[in-house]
Structure formats: structure tokens, C-alpha cells
Amino acid sequence: MHQLLEDLIKVMTLERLEINLFRGESRDIGSPQVFGGQVLGQALVAATATVENRAVHSLHAYFLRRGDFNSPIVYEVDRAWDGKHFAMRRVIAIQHGQQIFNMSASFQMPEVGVDHQFPMPDVPLPESLPDLQQYRASLTGLPPAMLKMLDQKRPFEFRPTEMPNFARAEKRPPFKYVWIRAVDKLPDDEALHRCLMAYASDFQLLDTALKPHGLSWARDKMVIASIDHAMWFHRSVRVDDWLLYAMDSPSASGARGFTRGNVFARDGRLVASVSQEGLIRVTS
């Protein structure tokens, strides 16, 4: 397995301290705090470890404080409810004696019912698009901290359908389409793929709210951070095959941007939906 993906799985494998208590380590991805998707994914790993014969179908989370990637994070799971078909879990992430994140997640036993979905957008296939890293060579004049983050090697490939707005001010409609895929094959473990999908869902999303304003986190002075994150899993997902992340931003106001995403498998199945609101505070 690719070293970067192997390391991600190591990060997502938590140490069990007690029956409902887990501890995880972090990685520096170039940002000043722990990547929100990592905390989201680890919290889902902790919740999943307390549930049997059910798969997560939805989660709702709040980011409360910045995480410190130099210290471990403790995840406390509350087994709120176990019913005949559904189970509910609440997770609190604790670091340095304070809550930095909390999440509720619902799990369901497999059932058959009505089935419909939106069609997948008609966009170029991933094979015809360059990887996000290939755009890096054309970027100049950015702050060193931003270049460090852009240069960071990641366990996922990202192939946007249009060139990212890193270094130029150009107002565009609030829509974005990015193909994503893990850099190597993974085991046939649905729970693992859903946890890694939660991890990857925090990439790229909030940037969509910047597009109508010609803003870029890599160039403009601003405070940008996730406030909350919700996710629904509709169908079986594999993150080691190409997934189309179709994102939009219906609104931005009050120093907050609201974004949504639909995740489609290569065969057109809608496998997950995401929504997020984030802080967007322009400082100059």
C-alpha cells in the first residue's frame, strides 16, 4: 500500500483506552491547526467501534476550538440509543482538557426501500484532467506558509474540472467539481471507506463560497475555518475509485459561507451528500 495512505489508516486507527474512550494522533498537513476532516473521520471511527451490524447513514458535527497536531486527541463516545434498526452515538473530542469538537451520528441496519437520486453532472472524466499538484508549478508570489500547504503530499488525488483560483482575483459562479480518489487500493471494509470519505469531504468544500468574491485563502488575508459539518451516506462507497465531488455555495452572509456537496461514484450513483458552514472573515 502507498506509504501516505498507510499512514492515514494508522492515524484513523484509534487506541482504545476504555470501552467508550479512544485516543488518536494527528498529522501536520501544512495548516496551523489539526485538519478538520481528520477529527471528523476519527470521531466517526470511535463511534463506529461501539456499534454492531449497522452502518453510519448521517452525522452532524461542530468544530469548537482549533486542534493541536502536536498532542493526542481523546474521543469520548456516548451510547445514546440502540434501537431495533437504528443506533445513535454522540462523540466529544477533548484536547488539553477542553472540548474541541462534538458530533452526533446515526447508524442503521441494511434495509430495502424506495430509491431515487439526482443525476450525476456531465463533466470531463478524471483521466482527461491534471492532478491538483500539477497546477502548483504555475503559482508564484504566494506566502511561504501557503506554498508549504500546497506542496504537502496527500493520501488522496484531486483532479478539479477547472484550474483553481489560487493566485488571481477572478469572480466565478459558486460551483466546483473535483474528482477525488485514494492514492492506492484499500481493503473491502465499508466502515473504513465511509470514515475516509468523511475525512476527504472537508477538502475543497468551503473554498466554493469564496469564488463569487474573487477571494483565495492562498492569497488574500482572511480568517477561514469550518464551523459545522453534516454528512449523509446514501449508498455503498469506495474511496479508492474515482468519486466526483460536486459542490456549490447557495449563500454567504454574516461572515459565514454556506456550502453543499454531492458525491457521485464513477458509475453515476449518488453515494453521499455534505453540507458545511464556515467562518469567512476578510481582514484586509
Q: Which of 103, 121, 60 is nearest to 247 (CA)?
A: 121
Q: How far is Cα 251 from Cα 277, in angstroms, rounded to an integer?
A: 10
Q: How far is Cα 32 from Cα 220, in angstroms, rounded to an integer?
A: 16
> Quick check: helix, strand or coil at residue 118?
coil
What is the number of alpha carbons within 13 Å of residue 166 lying toward its C-beta? 22
131 is annotated as an active-site residue: no
Cβ burial of 1 (10 Å; 0-12, 13-18, 19+) is middle
Q: Give the active site residue among 38, 95, 204, 276.
A: 276
What lies within 8 Å, CB to CB, of 7 at 6+ separation is 27, 155
Q: How far is Cα 239 from Cα 184, in angstroms, rounded to an integer?
A: 9
71 is annotated as an active-site residue: no
Q: Give the active site residue among 95, 226, 249, 273.
A: 226
Give the pairing of strands 175-182 and 222-233. Answer: unpaired
Alpha-carbon radius of gyration of the chain? 18
Sign for the pseudo-dihedral over CA of 37, 246, 158, 126: positive
Q: Which of 166, 58, 36, 68 is nearest to 104 (CA)?
A: 58
Q: Give the active site residue among 202, 216, 249, 273.
A: 202
Q: How far is Cα 101 from Cα 74, in angstroms, rounded to an integer?
A: 11
138 is annotated as an active-site residue: no
The three three-digit cell numbers of residue 186, written as one number: 484499500
Q: How far is Cα 275 from Cα 202, in angstroms, rounded to an integer?
A: 10
Query: What residues act catalytically?
Result: 202, 226, 276
